[in-house]
Homo-oligomer: A and B are copies of this chain.
Amino acid sequence: MELNVYLSGEIHTDWRQQLKDGCEAHKLPIVFTSAVTDHQASDSAGDLLGAEDDNFWRDHKSAKVNAIRTKTLIENCDVAVVRFGDKYKQWNAAFDAGFCAALGTPYITLHNEDIIHPLKEVDASAMAWAKTPEQVVEILKYVLTKE
């Protein structure tokens, strides 16, 4: 058993790296994928097709170019980890969770206790709620290596 794990959400802390390092330490057979996490590159993805004056359309174009990547990766993943940090709106993370829920793709949420209430619908469709990247590593290790 191998897993393809999509990492969604917060891009301002190093949780992705912690998660990958933890899994690597256990040599877990996981392929990790993710949206482009370079904030500026992501915001200007659409500029490759020509500049836009209007902010809405600039965002629109970039978001669609990014979706070529994220849609493909989410549809191909076995499990997603969706991270909510303590800053920003992070509606794209909740959007990804809803997308997974509709596809029937299991996902794990990763967030602190103080946002349990606003995340209750997102958690209700999740297969697990973890508070730390280490816990996610433990879950993935259990899923992949226990017999």
A contact residues vs B (CB 8 Å cutoff): 1, 3, 33-34, 36-38, 41-42, 45-46, 48-50, 52-57, 59-73, 78-79, 84, 88-104, 106, 108, 113, 115-125, 127-131, 135, 138-139, 142-143, 146-147
Interface pair A135/B48, CB less than 8 Å apart:
yes
Complex: A139 Cα to B50 Cα, angstroms: 12
Interface pair B98/A115, CB less than 8 Å apart:
no
Between A and B, 18 residue pairs with Cβ closer than 8 Å are A1-B69, A34-B147, A38-B146, A49-B139, A52-B54, A53-B54, A54-B57, A59-B116, A63-B124, A64-B128, A68-B143, A70-B121, A72-B78, A91-B93, A94-B98, A98-B100, A99-B99, A99-B102
**Contact residue among B48, B98, B115 (Cβ-Cβ distance under 8 Å from A102):** B98
For A125, the chain B residues whose CB sits under 8 A away are 67, 95
For A93, the chain B residues whose CB sits under 8 A away are 91, 94
For A1, the chain B residues whose CB sits under 8 A away are 33, 69, 72-73
For A62, the chain B residues whose CB sits under 8 A away are 120
Interface pair B48/A139, CB less than 8 Å apart:
yes
Minimum distance in angstroms from A13 CB to a CB of chain B: 16
For A41, the chain B residues whose CB sits under 8 A away are 142, 146
Interface pair A68/B102, CB less than 8 Å apart:
no
